[in-house]
Amino acid sequence: MLKRTISLFAAAVLTLGLAGCNMVIKDEEKASQVVVAKVGETEITRAQVDAEYDVLLASYASYGLSTSDIDADTERSFKESILDDMVAYETMVQNAPDGLGVAALTDDELKEIDDQIESTIKSYEEYLTENAEGDTDEEKQQYVEESLAQVKETLGYDSGVMKNQQIRSTYLQKVKDAIGENYTPSDEEIQTKYDSMLSEQKEAVTEDMSAFSDYAGQDNQVYIPAGVHYVQNLLIEIPSDARTEISQIEDETEKEQRKQEELAKIKDEADEALKKAQADGADFAKLLDEYSDDTGSTSEPTRTEGYAVWEGNTTYVSEFTDAAMALTKTGEISGLVESDYGYHILRLVKVTEEGSVPLEDVKETIKTTLTEEYINSEYDSKLEEYKNASNVTEYKDKLEITASSSS
């Protein structure tokens, strides 16, 4: 009788347990269908946002970053951004066809997206196959299959997130293209923008010279501060593995000794390059191609225009900056300059006087900037207008935040 009672009790507990488990599953399913936004009659659910967030986390982890470092505020920011993008798409799909004449994506455009996605996956598969790890064909095949599955998860291929994101991106870009289609900045707008950029850059550099690094050599540079030395850099490099080894030595005396040993190994080549650089009529750019291990120095425009260096510059190692600033005459060649990277041979291209880049040289860049600003402004305006038309309602407080709050 006792055994029967225990058996009946166990069965009851098991039944309740299974019922409870079923209730949890149903509760989770119900929670996933919580509506976090409505655009007209279209509902966006928590599950849709979470699916894209999961892909974001997978991508985050694929770069070796720890997802455990994501706190509640960051998670909320990510999820709200995902929701904003979904709302923008649904809003534009419902209103842009009539308001801007931008029809929904055609079957051909959708097929093109499918083809692009499949091409991307195929490229990954080919790369993994060519670089498969393993001793046997079976091990290599397993490596490819497991790695490809991880790639697909990271991209959101199987879940459909990858395609949904591409559809949204493609359509919203069509909307922006339509907005900017008939816009051309006037000469007056271009001049005003140029004057504004010149004033802003001059003010920033006058306050802090390091601000020059934000636009030096960039397409948007319009202000030229005085005293900037442009130098070409021929580097005879200490091998990277040796540099790594040296950097890990804690004793400063031992570290310097090892560096000098490595410098001695490349001294003859450095002396040879210096002798050629100091010869009359030497073509320094060609010497860069022949000798320099600094890939940046052999790429245009740096190859001919040089690196921008100024007093107090922290972009480069101090030995490089000091040697560059010591050069005063155009075409002047430094001696061998030692650094942790090896031997540098510098040639002064020019020292700037205060001035500005001619408007004609940056006109196309400014036109592009003005067009982008116009499109973004009009897009935001249209989005707000269409949100009102579609009675958009967002319930961001219903987004599920699983991370812990930062302390």
Give the Cα separation of 61 and 135 in Å (integer): 28
Q: According to the model, what pLDDT value does residue 127 have? A: 95
CATH architecture designation of domain 227-352: Roll (3.10)
Res 268 pLDDT > 60 = yes
Contact 393, 38 (CB under 8 A): yes
Q: Is the pLDDT of residue 231 over 90?
A: yes
- Rounded to an integer, what distance in angstroms lies between the CA atom of residue 256 and that of residue 99? 69
Residue 295 near residue 302 (C-beta atoms within 8 A): no
d(CA 368, CA 147): 41
Residue 3 has pLDDT above 60, yes or no: no
- Paired sense of beta strands 42-45 and 355-356, if any: unpaired
Residue 347: helix, strand or coil by DSSP?
strand
Q: Helix 46-62 and helix 137-155: axis angle, to 10°?
A: 130
pLDDT tens track for 303-327:
999 999 998 888 899 999 999 999 9
Find the mean pLDDT for residues 221-249.
Answer: 95
pLDDT at 405 over 80: no
pLDDT band at residue 407 using 50, 70 and 90 as cut-offs: low
Q: Is the pLDDT of residue 14 over 50?
A: no
Do 202 and 227 meet the contact criterion of CB atoms below 8 Å apart? no
Radius of gyration of the chain (CA): 31
Bridge partners, residue 37, by sequence: 44, 394
State mean pLDDT over 11-37: 57
CA 230 to chain centre: 28
pLDDT of residue 25: 44
Predicted TM-score (pTM) of this structure:
0.75
Query: Is the pLDDT score of 95 beyond 90?
Result: yes
Q: How far is 242 from 233, CA to CA, in rounded Å?
A: 21
pLDDT tens profile 156-215? 998 899 999 999 999 999 999 999 999 999 999 999 999 999 999 999 999 999 889 888
Once rounded to an integer, what is the mean pLDDT over residues 4-16? 41
pLDDT at 31: 62
User: 323-369 pLDDT, tens per residue?
Assistant: 999 999 999 999 999 999 999 999 999 999 999 999 999 999 999 99
% of the chain surpassing 70 pLDDT = 91
Q: Is the pLDDT of residue 27 over 90?
A: no
| pLDDT of 16 higher than 90 | no
- For 289-303, what is each residue's pLDDT tens digit? 999 999 999 999 899
Whole-number pLDDT of residue 263 = 96
At residue 370, the pLDDT reads: 97
pLDDT digits (tens, 9 = 90+) for 30-84: 666 899 999 999 999 999 999 999 999 988 888 877 878 889 999 999 999 999 9
* Residue 276, H or E segment: helix 252-278
Nearest to 176 by CA among 3, 355, 380, 314: 380
pLDDT surpassing 60 at residue 96: yes
401/179 Cα distance (integer angstroms) = 36
- φ, ψ at 351 (rounded to 5°): -120, 125
Q: State the chain's mean pLDDT as an integer.
A: 90
Res 136: pLDDT: 93
